[in-house]
């Protein structure tokens, strides 16, 4: 695109023209500085997290990641509880969101009547527009009470607490636990994954699809045998993108996960994630070590999400950037 | 016989598949409807003049959300001014000057990382650079945090929309003797105006409901304040505080606030998308 342009523009006389003088150089410089500013932001973000978290990291060393003690009174901080909480909720959210997102993407590309296609895809995208805090309130005041009454209570009444499932599904019946947090997260990341998957499915060349239909394939067979293998690797990228979102989500999770630092021991136990711990404690933290431990937690979160997002970008590929 | 069997099986298989994908879509639409229904049914009743004319109340007193509404407006306006300027310039560099260079692909990648970076980390970052060194929470720090979140959105949309403009436009401008910078400002930007507005609207939609980065930058302020150096209230922060409280009045106000925010964000999204659809079609 730009190559064609530079080729079409003889560069030598340009500098002599009035309109291409100092103003243009200044403008180009401004644009360049703005782009560099963006780059500096990310570098600054990393550096500030490292500096802020350093006292805790040097104090606890590697134990910071493996210990699950989190006690501001004794100044003992270990990240294992929140880290595991973050990974578990994000993973469960993906397990729930992925089949749904795939179904939505296929429905929109293959089956949705043209008349309502725009409405349906807008509705799905609007799910991504609802602020996190609104999801949190809805989770806390609508989903959690419903879940406690219609899922947790019957389980407690009917399951032997000593049995395997009784242990896995054990929890205080208030609906604020790791499972409901994952459920909310799943709804939140659903539109991101569905939108990317849909765009990917649309990139499958029409003649390939039509050839398959011409051979008498059913839509199911076209999706399974033609479209999925074509988008393959990029689809994993879409999943990672959703995972990145789920890992760093803060407010919705803070509302509904129950906020306990203990290592989660069942599906319906309350827990915490890195983001929810920071949101809950940062303004109330007074000890230097406490603040530093929270920032170090942030650094861990950044490392996890950065890896996930970078992998997503590489997998989705260049044309989608 | 065997042929018919296989044919029937494939039809059934396909029918189940179509049914499941439809069901998945129905679940998503149902989730949206349920959330909007809760917002309207819980929040609409509390919507009255006091919400806009009175500041946030102490527990079990009459009050509104005036300080939070104005605070949110101030924070968002300030953040948007910063991110529109930086975002459009950076997006222009990516689309027009950096094209094809290694540096541009690095910037593009980092911008994408920022785009999906957890917002709470941006809050920590701003705490480190704008709160701790100056010894206090401030509206300015809050606006800065929001600007960091909106800028990548504006940058990304700007780059995308500028790339859609045809090279003939650029070549025509240059053939008339205009320099590259002039062509961009006078022709390309003008032709992309609806798209640039979309970018700004999507950026606004991204930040207006943000809570996490404001908690430890702008903090919150129960009184109406416009000072940049003081802590400032904001709708999301007030909702967070009120929703988790034990007071019914506070919770009711939290629902009203959530309703206001959700509909602001959703309208910004819808208008932004409608504009971009129109500019893509023309």
Note whether A20 contacts B181, CB cutoff 8 Å. Answer: yes
**Cα angle B38-B43-B48, degrees, rounded to a multiple of 5:** 160
| Residue B32 sits in the same domain as residue B163 | no
User: Which of B32, B106, B125 minimises the CB distance to A123?
Assistant: B32
Residues A191 and A100 sit within 8 Å (Cβ to Cβ): no
Inter-chain touch B89–A31, beta carbons under 8 Å: yes
Residues B17 and B133 in one domain: no
Mean per-residue pLDDT of chain A = 87
* CATH number for the domain that contains residue B91: 1.10.3720.10
CB contact under 8 A, A31 and B93: yes
Q: For chain B, how are helix, strand and coil distributed in percent, rounded to 5?
A: 80, 0, 20
Residues B11, B114, single domain; the answer is no
Closest alpha carbon within chain B to A52:
B128
The three-class DSSP label of residue A70 is strand
Q: Any chain A CB within 8 A of the CB of B12?
A: no
Q: What is the pLDDT of residue A168?
A: 81
pLDDT of residue A317: 66
Place of tokens 């990317």: A196
What part of B 172-231 touches A (C-beta under 8 Å)?
174, 177-182, 184-185, 205, 208-212, 215-216, 219
B65 and B141 in a single domain? The answer is yes
Same structural domain for residues B187 and B112? yes
Mean pLDDT calculated for residue range A26-49: 94
Q: Are B105 and B196 found together in one domain? A: yes
Query: A81 vs chain B: nearest CA distance in angstroms?
Result: 19
Coil, strand or helix at A21? coil
* Same domain flag for B32 and B80: no
pLDDT score for A266: 86
Q: Check CB contact of B35 with chain A, cutoff 8 Å.
A: yes
**B32 contacts chain A (CB < 8 A):** yes
pLDDT at A68: 85
Six-digit token pair at B121?
């980390």
B54 in the same domain as B38: no
Q: Which two tokens stand for residue A243?
A: 């995972």
Cα B254-B153-B275 angle, rounded to 5 deg: 85
Which chain B residue has its CA at the smallest distance from A142's CA?
B38
In this complex, is the C-beta atom of B39 within 8 Å of any C-beta atom belonging to chain A?
A: yes
From A95's Cα to the closest Cα of chain B, the distance in A is: 14
Given the structure tokens 């416009």, which residue do they identify?
A: B226
Query: Which residues in chain A touch residue B211, judged by CB atoms under 8 angstroms apart?
Result: 131-133, 250-251
- Walk along chain B (282 residues) and give the pLDDT tens digit of each residue: 455 688 899 999 999 999 999 999 999 999 999 999 999 999 998 899 989 999 999 888 888 999 999 999 999 999 999 999 999 999 999 999 988 899 999 999 999 889 888 999 999 999 999 998 988 899 999 999 999 999 999 999 999 999 989 899 999 999 998 888 999 999 999 999 988 999 999 999 999 989 999 998 998 889 898 998 899 999 999 999 999 998 988 999 999 999 999 999 999 988 988 887 776 654
Q: What is the pTM of this model?
A: 0.90
What CA–CA distance (Å, rounded) separates B156 from B158?
Answer: 5
pLDDT score for A156 = 84
Q: What is the pLDDT of residues A175-216, one digit of tens each?
A: 889 999 999 999 999 999 999 899 899 988 989 889 999 998
In this structure, what token pair is assigned to residue A287?
């000890």
B7 touches chain A (CB under 8 A): no
Contacts A301 to B, Cβ<8 Å: 118, 120-121
Cβ within 8 Å of residue A109, ≥6 positions away:
A198, A201, A202
How far apart are the C-alpha atoms of A36 and A29, rounded to whole Å?
A: 10
Probe site for chain A from B31, B122, B250 (most A CB atoms < 10 A) = B31
| Chain B residues within an 8 Å CB radius of A33 | 89
Which one of B15, B35, B76 would you mutate to disrupt binding with A, by most A Cβ within 10 Å of its Cβ?
B35
Task: Say if the Cβ atoms of B121 and A301 lie within 8 Å.
Answer: yes
Quick one: pLDDT at residue A1?
Answer: 41
Q: Which of residues 80-139 of B touch A (CB under 8 A)?
A: 85-87, 89-90, 92-94, 96-100, 104, 106-114, 116-122, 124-125, 127-129
Spatial separation of the C-alpha atoms in residues A186 and A83, rounded to whole Å: 18
Q: Do B261 and A134 touch (CB under 8 A)?
A: yes
pLDDT of the residue at B279: 65
My answer on whether B227 and B161 are in the same domain is yes
Closest Cβ–Cβ partner in B170, B178, B211 for A251: B211
Q: What is the mean pLDDT of residues A111-132?
A: 90
The candidate with the shortest Cα–Cα distance to B149, out of B209, B89, B227, B231, is B209
Residue A169's pLDDT band (cuts 50, 70, 90): confident
Question: Where do the domains of chain A lie?
Answer: 57-316
Compare all CA atoms of chain A with the CA of B238 and give the residue at the minimum distance: A133
Has the ipTM of the complex gone over 0.85? yes
Residues of A whose CB is below 8 A from B153: none
Chain B environment of A1 (Cβ under 8 Å): 99, 163, 167
pLDDT given at position B172: 92
pLDDT exceeds 50 at position A10 = no
Q: Which residues of A touch B173 (CB under 8 A)?
A: none
Fold of the domain built from segment(s) A57-316: MetI-like fold (1.10.3720)
pLDDT at B219: 87
Average pLDDT over residues A81-97: 94
DSSP-assigned beta bridge partners for residue A70? A77
B274 vs B266: CA distance, rounded Å: 12
| Interface contact A140-B243, CB threshold 8 A | yes
**Of B118, B179, B261, Cβ closest to residue A301:** B118
Alpha carbon distance A160, A156 (integer Å)? 8
CB contact under 8 A, B25 and A190: no
Domain termination residue (choose one: B14, B30, B46): B46
Tell me the chain A residues in contact with residue B244 when contact means C-beta distances shorter than 8 Å.
140, 255
In this predicted structure, the answer to whether residue A9 has a pLDDT above a threshold of 80 is no
Co-location of B24 and B13 in the same domain: yes
Residue B211 φ then ψ, to 5°: -115, -50
What is the average pLDDT across A213-233?
89
Q: How confident is the model at residue A89 (pLDDT cuts 50, 70, 90)?
A: very high
Q: Which residue of B has its CA nearest to A220?
A: B14
Domain count, chain B: 2
Question: What pLDDT is stored for residue A20 in this prediction?
Answer: 54
Q: B30: domain range?
A: 2-46
Q: Which residues of chain B lie closer than 8 angstroms to A313, CB-CB?
A: 109, 112
The confidence score (pLDDT) of residue B3 equals 57
Contact A295 B24 (CB under 8 A): no
Nearest beta carbon to residue B181 from set A23, A125, A131: A23
Say whether both B131 and B118 belong to one domain: yes
Q: Do A20 and B152 touch (CB under 8 A)?
A: no
- Report pLDDT for A319: 46
């Amino acid at each position: 695109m730009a190559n064609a342009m530079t080729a079409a523009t003889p560069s030598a006389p340009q500098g002599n023209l009035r309109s291409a003088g100092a103003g243009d150089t200044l403008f180009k410089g401004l644009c360049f500085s703005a782009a560099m500013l963006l780059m500096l932001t990310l570098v600054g973000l990393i550096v500030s997290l490292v500096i802020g978290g350093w006292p805790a990291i040097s104090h606890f060393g590697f134990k910071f990641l493996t210990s699950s003690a989190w006690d501001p009174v004794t100044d003992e901080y270990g990240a294992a509880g929140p880290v595991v909480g973050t990974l578990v909720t994000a993973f469960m959210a993906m397990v729930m969101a992925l089949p749904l997102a795939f179904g939505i993407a296929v429905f929109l590309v293959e089956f949705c009547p043209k008349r309502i296609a725009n409405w349906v895809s807008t509705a799905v995208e609007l799910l991504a527009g609802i602020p996190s805090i609104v999801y949190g309130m809805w989770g806390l005041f609508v989903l959690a009470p419903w879940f406690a009454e219609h899922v947790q209570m019957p389980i407690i009444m009917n399951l032997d607490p000593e049995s395997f499932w009784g242990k896995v599904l054990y929890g205080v019946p208030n609906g604020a636990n790791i499972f409901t947090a994952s459920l909310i997260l799943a709804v939140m990341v659903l539109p991101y994954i569905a939108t990317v998957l849909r765009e990917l499915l649309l990139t499958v060349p029409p003649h390939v699809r039509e050839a398959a239909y011409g051979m008498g394939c059913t839509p199911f067979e076209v999706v399974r045998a033609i479209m999925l293998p074509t988008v393959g690797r990029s689809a994993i990228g879409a999943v990672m993108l959703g995972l990145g979102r789920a890992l760093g989500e803060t407010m919705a999770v803070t509302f509904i996960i129950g906020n306990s630092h203990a290592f989660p021991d069942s599906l319906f136990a309350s827990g915490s994630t890195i983001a929810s711990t920071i949101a809950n404690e940062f303004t109330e933290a007074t000890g230097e070590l406490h603040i530093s431990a929270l920032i170090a937690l942030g650094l861990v979160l950044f490392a996890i999400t950065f890896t996930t997002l970078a992998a997503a970008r590489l997998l989705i590929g260049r044309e989608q950037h | 016989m065997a042929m018919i069997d296989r044919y029937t099986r494939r039809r059934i298989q396909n029918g189940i598949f179509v049914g499941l994908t439809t069901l998945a879509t129905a679940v998503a639409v149902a989730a949206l409807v349920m959330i909007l229904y809760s917002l309207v049914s819980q929040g609409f009743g509390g919507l009255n003049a006091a919400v806009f004319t009175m500041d946030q109340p102490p527990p079990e007193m009459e009050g509104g959300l005036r300080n939070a509404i104005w605070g949110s407006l101030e924070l968002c306006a300030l953040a948007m001014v910063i991110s529109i300027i930086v975002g459009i310039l950076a997006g222009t560099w990516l689309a027009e000057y950096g094209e094809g260079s290694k540096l541009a692909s690095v910037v593009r990648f980092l911008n994408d990382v920022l785009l999906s970076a957890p917002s709470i980390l941006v809050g920590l970052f701003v705490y480190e650079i704008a709160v701790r060194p100056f010894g206090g929470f401030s509206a300015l720090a809050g606006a800065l945090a929001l600007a960091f979140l909106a800028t990548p959105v504006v940058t990304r949309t700007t780059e995308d929309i500028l790339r859609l403009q045809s090279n003939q436009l650029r070549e025509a401008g240059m053939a008339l003797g205009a320099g590259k910078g002039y062509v961009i400002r006078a022709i390309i930007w003008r032709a992309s105006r609806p798209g640039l507005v979309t970018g700004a609207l999507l950026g606004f939609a991204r930040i207006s409901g943000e809570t996490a980065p404001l908690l430890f930058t702008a903090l919150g302020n129960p009184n109406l304040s416009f000072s940049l150096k003081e802590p400032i209230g904001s709708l999301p922060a007030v909702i967070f505080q009120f929703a988790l409280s034990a007071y019914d009045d506070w919770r009711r106000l939290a629902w009203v606030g959530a309703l206001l925010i959700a509909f602001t964000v959703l309208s910004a999204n819808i208008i932004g998308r409608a504009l971009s659809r129109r500019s893509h079609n023309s």
